Amino acid sequence: MFFYKTFLIGSNVPSLTYASQEELQVGAVVSVPLKSSTKNAVIIEEVSQPSFTALEVCEVTAHYYTSKQLEIAKFISEYYFSSWGEAISLFVPYDKNIEPVVKYENNDIKLPQLTQAQQQVYDALLHKDRALLFGVTGAGKTEVFISLMGKMLQEGKATIFLMPEISLTPQMEKRLQRYFGEQVAMWHSKLTKKKKESILEGIYSGQVRIVAGARSALFVPLQDIGLIIVDEEHDDSYKAMTRPRYHARDVAVLMGQKLGAKVLLASATPSMTSYTKYDVVKLDKPFIQTNKRYTFISGDTINNVILNAVSKNYQRGEQSLLFLPTRGNFKYLYCENCGKTHLCPYCSVGMALHRNHKHLKCHYCNYTEAIRESCSYCGHSPLRSERMGTQEAIEVIEEAIEGIKVEKFDKDSITTANKLKQALRRFENKESDLLLGTQMLSKGHDYADITLSVIMGLDHILGLADYRARERTMSLFFQIAGRSGRAKASEVIVQTGDPDFFKSYVGDYELFIKEELSFLEMMEYPPYASLARILIAHKDEKKVAKITLDTVAKLKSFEEIEIVGHGKAPVEKIANKYRYHILLRAKSRVPLLKSLHGVDCKEIEIDMDPVEFS
DNA sequence: ATACTAATATCA
DNA sequence: GATATTAGTATG
């Protein structure tokens, strides 16, 4: 009889020991009895016969994790404070039953013709294990990616291509398939089971050699991974908001090291961290330098300046873009008399007004109720709604500009890849005149013919209590401005109370990076320090407060870490649970990890390198 | 994680 | 006092 330490895949349990008649490989996935059900577990190591009677494994599956996968999972569990079982559940295991078929004939791949600048970048990247490709929007990063992928195919190696949002995939999918056909697969967490299985079959058999997709694509069971590309590497959506709270960009770099694969990060607005950490390779704009005029205006509503500009552009038969940072219909009910906002009874956040559905909704817990007529604190009536949402913006514009066709582009209206395709097609076909939306606009693709971009509400982001508020704002500003005027001269209208902040960096993100870095260095924030956040949530506020204080007390004994602050989280309550947090800082991550492993317990959640502080 | 158990709240 | 709900614990 053999005995094995195992981890239950996707579970919190530290480890359980099972017996087996036959010898098993480390990494093998087995199904095991636990209480009255069976679970999947992964074999970690052989152990001597334990003092208790170990149950026998039920079944040895055809799946297994490689030692590399186990190593990376171990790192993730230690660095991001999750169980090993949770970390390994990120990965899709390999399959013993499916033998890779003979590789594709890869000699006749057609690759894009590179410009001289692209070719230089390509050559430079070939000689680097890791690099940050700093390329202005429209400079043609994708051709470089495709060439590198092609090179990998020729060497028999696979590529993982990460993108921040699934919604951006349709255009990229087409582009990749034009070059690599069946060897490309798109991967994201919302694939149906069947689709997933068919893609996995392609991956196992070796037919699929390029997997493109969101965060989770990092964990597919490709053979011989030679290249990992993280496009839009500055994007915060690479950070997982649930356990394990890993950062896909950072895990990609680690994976590259472990697998001996090249890692390429790319962005037009790189993160401060990557800019300082990795070799920077620049790809500048092609010689056609289009004319872009910036106008800065004040206010925070759709005023006459904006209406006139959009209207004029519409009369000329040209297309415009309007950006708002808030989610569609995201307005609060607020009382003019006492100034209070109507809050969700379970979460301490404003209830969002969904006027077309005639209800109020909490965006944290989805609690829904009828629209209030009067203030629940002072009884004052009527209540006012505040803050501009896409819906109201559309109403204002359609009323003011007769005949204009507005395409709404936000999470509310673009729920599926199909809807995205349709919206983009309508815009490309000139069926709509104005593309109006939220952050989604900054991510999507190029809208070559746009000659007017209106950027509103950046001040709301700039004003966030977040050490990266400036970086996030500037990145957004560059990303949106970069969408327009590819082909023709264009105008960018920025509505802000702080025009000087933007003016000083127009057209030069690197200058912003440099100045921001000296600011971050002075303030001792990342990349010049390491941060961790502890979250404590519980129904009983006294209990939360106590755990917070106890944890703070324990942490005080560690000299190398600084407790930046602790107390109620900005969002005090979610789904009826009170939330407290502790923010920690240290010169490096080592003392942070050491001290946190000393206080880690089931009551708290640790978020390393946090990007969200609410 | 989840089945099982102990503890506590709810109710006629 | 019996039953429903919740909190706690061990699982191999």
Phi, psi dihedrals of residue A592, rounded to the nearest 5°:
-60, -50
A123 pLDDT more than 50: yes
Percent of chain A surpassing pLDDT 70: 91
The CA–C1' separation of A104 and C4, in angstroms, is 63
A49 pLDDT more than 50: yes
CA separation (Å) from A421 to A165, A347, A427?
14, 35, 10
pLDDT of A444 reads 63
* pLDDT digits 0-9 by tens, A103-116: 656 667 788 999 99
pLDDT of A457 reads 86
A58 a known binding residue? no
Whether A70 and A161 map to the same domain: the answer is no
SS3 A538: strand
Whether A279 and A296 map to the same domain: the answer is no
Whether A199 and A271 map to the same domain: the answer is yes
| A36 Cβ within 7 A of any nucleic strand B atom | yes
Residues paired with residue A354 on neighbouring β-strands, in sequence order: A359
Mean pLDDT estimate for chain A: 88
Whether A563 and A516 map to the same domain: the answer is no
| A575 Cβ within 7 A of any nucleic strand C atom | no
| A16 Cβ within 7 A of any nucleic strand B atom | no
Whether A205 and A319 map to the same domain: the answer is no
**What is the DSSP code (8-state) at residue A242?**
S
* pLDDT digits 0-9 by tens, A472-504: 999 999 998 888 766 677 899 999 989 999 999
A344 a known binding residue? yes
pLDDT of A178 reads 93
* pLDDT digits 0-9 by tens, A533-586: 999 998 888 888 989 999 999 999 999 999 998 988 888 888 888 899 999 999
The CA–C1' separation of A35 and C10, in angstroms, is 10
Whether A534 and A511 map to the same domain: the answer is no
Phi, psi dihedrals of residue A169, rounded to the nearest 5°:
-70, -35
Sequence-distant (≥ 6) Cβ neighbours of residue A355 within 8 angstroms: A329, A331, A391
CA distance A294 to A490: 9
The CA–C1' separation of A468 and B6, in angstroms, is 48
The CA–C1' separation of A238 and C8, in angstroms, is 36
- For range A267-288, the mean pLDDT: 90
| A15 Cβ within 7 A of any nucleic strand C atom | yes
The CA–C1' separation of A38 and C10, in angstroms, is 16
| A16 Cβ within 7 A of any nucleic strand C atom | yes
pLDDT of A327 reads 46
CA distance A525 to A219: 30
Residue A193's CATH number: 3.40.50.300
The CA–C1' separation of A602 and C1, in angstroms, is 36
CA distance A454 to A475: 16
Residue A461 in tokens: 């982001």
- For range A46-63, the mean pLDDT: 95
* pTM flag (> 0.75): yes
Residue A100 in tokens: 């890779």
CA separation (Å) from A335 to A28, A297, A329, A376, A437?
61, 29, 18, 9, 27
Percent of chain A surpassing pLDDT 90: 62
The CA–C1' separation of A203 and B8, in angstroms, is 53
The CA–C1' separation of A35 and C2, in angstroms, is 29
The answer to whether residue A342 sits within a structural domain is: no
pLDDT of A170 reads 74
Q: When comparing pLDDT for A165 and A611, which is higher?
A: A611
Whether A445 and A538 map to the same domain: the answer is no
pLDDT of A427 reads 87
A365 a known binding residue? yes
The separation between the first and the last C-alpha atoms of chain A, rounded to the nearest angstrom, is 52
Whether A437 and A305 map to the same domain: the answer is yes
A85: the nucleotide nearest its CA (via C1') is B1
**Torsional sign, CA A469, A516, A246, A188:** positive
Q: Please count the structural domains in chain A.
A: 4
For strand C, list residues 517-556 of chain A whose Cβ lies within 7 Å of it. Answer: 539
Task: Give strand C nucleotides closer than 7 A to any protein Cβ.
Answer: 7, 11-12
Range of the domain at A240: 116-283
pLDDT of A421 reads 82
A11: the nucleotide nearest its CA (via C1') is B1
The answer to whether residue A322 sits within a structural domain is: yes
Q: Where are the alpha helices (DSSP H) in A155-303?
A: 169-180, 193-205, 248-259, 272-277
- For range A302-330, the mean pLDDT: 85
A8: the nucleotide nearest its CA (via C1') is B1
Residue A568's CATH number: 3.30.70.600
- For range A50-58, the mean pLDDT: 94
Specify which residue's alpha carbon is closest to the C1' of nucleotide B4: A35
Residue A12's CATH number: 3.40.1440
Q: When comparing pLDDT for A170 and A577, which is higher?
A: A577
* pLDDT digits 0-9 by tens, A225-266: 999 999 999 999 999 999 999 999 999 999 999 999 999 999
Q: What is the largest CA-CA distance in chain A?
A: 83
Which range, of A18-27, A143-152, A188-197, A373-382, averages the lowest pLDDT? A373-382
pLDDT of A265 reads 98
CA distance A230 to A249: 6
The answer to whether residue A379 sits within a structural domain is: no
Task: Give strand B nucleotides closer than 7 A to any protein Cβ.
Answer: 1-4
Single out the residue in A520, A550, A570 at which a domain terminates. Answer: A520
- For range A40-55, the mean pLDDT: 95
Single out the residue in A44, A62, A95 at which a domain terminates. Answer: A95
| A375 Cβ within 7 A of any nucleic strand C atom | no
